[in-house]
Chain A
Amino acid sequence: MKMKEYELFIGPQHPGITGNMMYHLWVDGDTVVKAECNVGYLHRGFEKLMESRTWMQNIPLVCRICVPDPDVNEMAYSMAVERLMGWREEVPERARYIRTVVLELSRIAAYLMGIGSYAGALGIYTLPQWALGDRDYIMDIFEQLTGARIYHIYIWPGGVRWDMPADLPKLIEKTMKYLEKRLKLYDDVFFKNRIFFDRAVDIGVIPKEKAIEWGVTGPNLRASGHEYDVRRLEPYAAYENIDFDVIHYPELGKFDVLSSGGDAYTRMLVRRLEIEQSISIIRQALKKMPSGEHLLKHPNWFKWEVPPGIAYERVESSKGEYGYMVVSDGGKKPVRVHVRGPSYTHGINVAETILKGANIADVSQILFSLDICPPDIER
């Protein structure tokens, strides 16, 4: 007797799912016929809350939208407020470099988490332990720089909250050296591991010609073969003064090109290579960092009024393009703040499309390779 199509629910408590979300699968044998994303387990109403808080009170709130990579939120929100205030050109040079360092450290931390959880989805449990352990050394840097480990509340409109301590670059350099050493081990254990090749190549392909239309951004877009990076296209912080290559398919450096791009294999390798690139950006930023002011003078926070207007600002997060649309009517509170989370497209439309035809065993690795983060879908 032929088995009929049946339904399968993965999540929200399943360990093979990327956070508090659920996928509803229709399965024939072990092939997925249809997938539907179901979110709603994490909706905290940030956008509504932001409308009832003043411009500065929103800063401790926005970073909570993305847990692995919180600084991009503060950055995008601050940039939007700066644009409305007309401060875009006035942000002190030193603050721009400190922001670059913070954003790149946060990117490495998020990539370590992403790579670790992806390896966990393939059943290699060594790497998640190592990656999260090494991420903690970056948290140590954040603790000494910003005063908190996860939610830093450090990037403010007009600069950064306080100056970088003089002895911190030494610690950052030491951590970066350690990470470089560890990455070699990661390669041996995971990225050059036979299991990775056998499982990940040509799985969950996002075709190059469809990638932009589907709204794919960030490392996922670069893995599909487009050389697009917001840090290059619309430089923010100090990225215009920093020399870096946009890592994209088919230029994978020391790794072999095994597929035709856009698959889980290439997506993970792009992330792996971008860790090294971030280390190089941090080194350059620390070297070029000028001295001087770190924050513009703020108006009285209780009476701060932002000129009316609409601003959209985008930054490159570890997951893709992060955007904030901020609308002001000239008052003490924003009229509307809308967050464009990169997972909004990756987690819903893209995942639903590329999961069709996949094996049940590959569902979890496809989702992790897209680096879906439900907090920025629901906000």
Chain B
Amino acid sequence: MSVIKPLKAWKHLLKRPHTIRYPYQEHVDMEGKRLPTEVLRGFHSNDLEKCIGCKMCGMICMNDAISYEEIPELEVEKGKKIRPIIDYGRCCYCGLCTEVCPTGSLKLTPNFKLIDVDREKFRFMPTQLNVKRDDYMVDENAILFSPEEYKEKVKGNK
């Protein structure tokens, strides 16, 4: 039992804050590896050439997040011309749709950043484009201040 020992907490006054200044500071794990890694289940990517439109992903999806739209100009060797559209207001990122995909065209990417004021933007057709984890899909109107302005603000707080 001690009354003095709890004062040890005071030494944290001299330490840097535990929190990270997202998104201008990188999120790293204990070994310095940048997060999220490639394993993270974020938005989908879909190889439209490889996809055969078999609707398996929509069948396993328990949230009814997947609907289909026909792309008439697509040239397909086999299967249908329909491709999945995912509603990220419903998606729970469980990834069962990628597990049942027979061609392996539907994948989950570590990209999960989408900022928009219009909720219709959260329903889109995944393609090969949004696969890189540094891709920010940001609606310009939704940003309150630019990254430069934000950096200035952060500097001022130091």
A interacts with B: yes
A residues whose Cβ falls under 8 Å from a Cβ of B: 53, 56-57, 59-61, 126, 129, 133, 137, 140-141, 143-148, 151, 153, 165, 170-171, 174-175, 178, 185, 188-190, 192-194, 197, 256, 301-302
- Asked if residues A188 and B60 are in contact (CB atoms below 8 Å), the reply is no
Within 8 Å by CB of B62, from A60, A146, A188, lies A60
Find chain A residues with CB under 8 A from B60 CB: 56-57, 301-302
Shortest beta-carbon distance, A71 to chain B, in Å? 15
In B1-55, the 8 Å CB interface with A consists of: 1-3, 5-6, 8-9, 18-19, 29-31, 33, 35-37, 39-41
Find chain A residues with CB under 8 A from B2 CB: 188, 192-194
B residues whose Cβ falls under 8 Å from a Cβ of A: 1-3, 5-6, 8-9, 18-19, 29-31, 33, 35-37, 39-41, 59-60, 62, 92-96, 99-100, 108
- Asked if residues A60 and B36 are in contact (CB atoms below 8 Å), the reply is no
* CB nearest neighbor in B for A196: B1
- Asked if residues A60 and B5 are in contact (CB atoms below 8 Å), the reply is no
- Asked if residues B96 and A60 are in contact (CB atoms below 8 Å), the reply is yes
The answer to whether residues A137 and B6 also contact, given A57-B62, A147-B40, A147-B95 and a CB cut-off of 8 A, is no
Query: For chain B, what secondary structure do more than half of its interface residues adopt (helix, strand, loop), or is it mixed?
Result: loop
* CB nearest neighbor in B for A171: B31
Bound complex: CA A194 to CA B14 (Å): 25
Find chain B residues with CB under 8 A from A60 CB: 62, 92, 94, 96
- Asked if residues B1 and A148 are in contact (CB atoms below 8 Å), the reply is no
Find chain A residues with CB under 8 A from B9 CB: 126, 185, 188-189
The answer to whether residues A197 and B30 also contact, given A143-B37, A189-B9 and a CB cut-off of 8 A, is no
Q: List 29 A-B contacts (CB under 8 A).
A: A56-B60, A60-B92, A126-B9, A140-B35, A141-B29, A143-B35, A143-B37, A143-B39, A144-B29, A144-B33, A146-B39, A147-B108, A148-B40, A148-B41, A153-B95, A171-B31, A171-B33, A174-B30, A178-B30, A188-B2, A189-B6, A193-B2, A193-B6, A194-B3, A194-B6, A197-B1, A256-B1, A301-B100, A302-B59
- Asked if residues A137 and B30 are in contact (CB atoms below 8 Å), the reply is yes
* CB nearest neighbor in B for A172: B30
Shortest beta-carbon distance, B33 to chain A, in Å? 8
